[in-house]
Amino acid sequence: MRRGLAPVVALVVPLLLWRLDRPGFSDTEGMFAEPAREMVTTGDWLVPRMNGEPFLTKPPLMYWLPAGLFAVAGPTEYARVWPALAAAATVAVTGLLGGALFDERAGIAAAVACATSLGFLLEARMLRADMVLMLAVTLALYCYVRLRRGGAAGAAIAFWATIGVGTLDKGLLAVLLPGGAIALAEIASGELRPRTLAARLGALRAPLGLPVLAAVVVPWHLLVAVRTPGFLWDYVVNQHLLFFFDAKLPRDSIPDTLGFFWTMFAVRALPWCLLLPAALIHAARSLRGRAALRLPLAWIATVLGFFSLATSRLEHYSLPALPAVALVVGLLLADLARGRARVGLGWCVLPPATVALGALAAALWDPASLIARLDPTLLAYGVTALVRPAAVTLGLGLAATAFCLGRRRVGAAVLAGAATAVTLFGFVQVAHERVEPLFSWRRFAETIRAEFPPDVPVFFRASDEYQLCGGLDFYTGRFVALLAPPGWVPPTFLVGRTDRLFARRGELERAWRAGRALFVSDDVAAPGDEATLVPGPYAVVARAGARVLLRAQPPLARR
């Protein structure tokens, strides 16, 4: 198994590292990069900070990892190496888990499907906590399978330690997701009942594992709680319980609809989601003879069910289900190759063939009209030329996949599907680089550093999320003067600190009258709307979509 899996991992690593420093950090990535930079500059590695004040909306692991790199190499986009390495490890563990649950062929097919899911490739290059969470969930479930098969104390320690590390990455989700998948699988098998709960915890070596979990998780939480009053209430109640119901204060994200959540799950799982209906039918018909299928099926149900119920859901929250999808699809592909599939061939061929026809039909349309319907702002950034070749790639690649499946040439179908996803990933990467000014502050920061002296204050306004300043801080290398969003309510760990976090409007007005001030906003809907945001005459230094960089007029112009 390991010999067959090694080439898959070896091939995916260069792909994950390709152009890893491009484009600049997005707003979301800036929320991780800037606290990491401040850890290095302040020497305080305990309490993450944003713009100089505590920023405790996430656990510390994905601040510690880039901070370690920054301490050696300085601020760099290559901090994305951590999610990329986590992605490579997830591919390997998915393959091992497929081999443990099914067989070597299914494990290798699952590893390929995981590595070449479009959303997996994209998330592997994002500096945020979700890829490490995916690894933690996958590794915890692999350790669980090892434990069920008589694993020694080492497997139990690894199981609980992995959940602990995941908790330092993404909070209680690292407990709920693998725990929910295990519980659901064992309930389905009849093993877990109220009267068997103690026995099942014993099977997981809980008396040994819970101290391990506590040793990993408790020290940081306890030390931060001592240093930062209000942290524990915010962390447990506000960031977890109230967030689930979209009642967190301050509100810092706009939930996605249930339909969009499921649609983007399918998009992120391309092209292998097109085989998921067939894989689920095959799994249902094989379940009696393959009890191991309960775990990946419960895994998918736990992730998608939990976040479907969460009113605060965001589309990327479905990501931890991708390895489970790969496992179910991998088993289908392995059984197809052996001629043992318990599903009609039409279920395998028709979905990719249908989407292939749709993609080829879309290639005939005017790309500019398609982009305009999506977002007219994109028309100015050179992505129109990518639409038609991307559609043709998708169409021809899926057509080849469907054809090979129809001829029962499963190996060729896997290669065609993987090549399609990798090529699409290349188009998306190029598009991502071209539209960088719409989501990254890097170019604005370069303009500020090049054209204005360091003593010119930069005022930053965001309509809801003040932490969007993270990328601007990161790329300018200094704090900005934050203007409080309208109606902003501080989390409990910032009570009493808001006067230090936010500048008063009067400070902006005085600096503006003096002609030595810059103003940055991320939500100016149309040219000219910025006039209502600044207290006097201004000049536009830079504009990118809804983002503007303004300077005071006229004194600054006479310099």
pLDDT recorded at residue 559? 43
2-17 helix and 81-101 helix, angle to the nearest 10 degrees: 160
Residue 557 clears pLDDT 60, i.e. is over it: no
pLDDT in tens, 316-335: 999 999 999 999 999 999 99
Read off φ and ψ for residue 149, nearest 5 degrees. Answer: -100, 30
* Banded pLDDT at 164 (limits 50, 70, 90): very high
pLDDT recorded at residue 486? 84
Whether this model's pTM surpasses 0.85? yes
pLDDT recorded at residue 556? 42
pLDDT recorded at residue 151? 81
pLDDT in tens, 86-118: 999 999 999 999 999 999 999 999 999 999 999
Rounded-to-integer distance, Cα 239 and Cα 246, Å: 10
pLDDT recorded at residue 251? 79
Residue 274 clears pLDDT 90, i.e. is over it: yes
Q: How many CA atoms lie within 13 A of 209 on its CB side?
A: 24
> What number is the average pLDDT over the span 301-318?
97
Q: Residue 478: how many CB atoms within 10 A of its CB?
A: 15
Residue 410 clears pLDDT 80, i.e. is over it: yes
pLDDT recorded at residue 199? 95
* Banded pLDDT at 554 (limits 50, 70, 90): low
* Banded pLDDT at 558 (limits 50, 70, 90): very low
Computed on alpha carbons and rounded to an integer, the radius of gyration of the chain in Å comes to 25
Identify which has the larger pLDDT, 462 or 114: 114
* Banded pLDDT at 53 (limits 50, 70, 90): very high
> What number is the average pLDDT over the span 381-397?
97
Percent of the chain exceeding pLDDT 90 equals 93
Rounded-to-integer distance, Cα 115 and Cα 269, Å: 10
Of 518, 555, 553, 528, residue with least CA distance to 539: 553
pLDDT recorded at residue 487? 85
DSSP run (H or E) holding 459: strand 458-461
Residue 217 clears pLDDT 80, i.e. is over it: yes
SS3 (DSSP) at 451: helix
Residue 371 clears pLDDT 80, i.e. is over it: yes
pLDDT in tens, 16-41: 999 999 999 999 999 999 999 999 99
Of 483, 529, 472, 489, residue with least CA distance to 506: 483
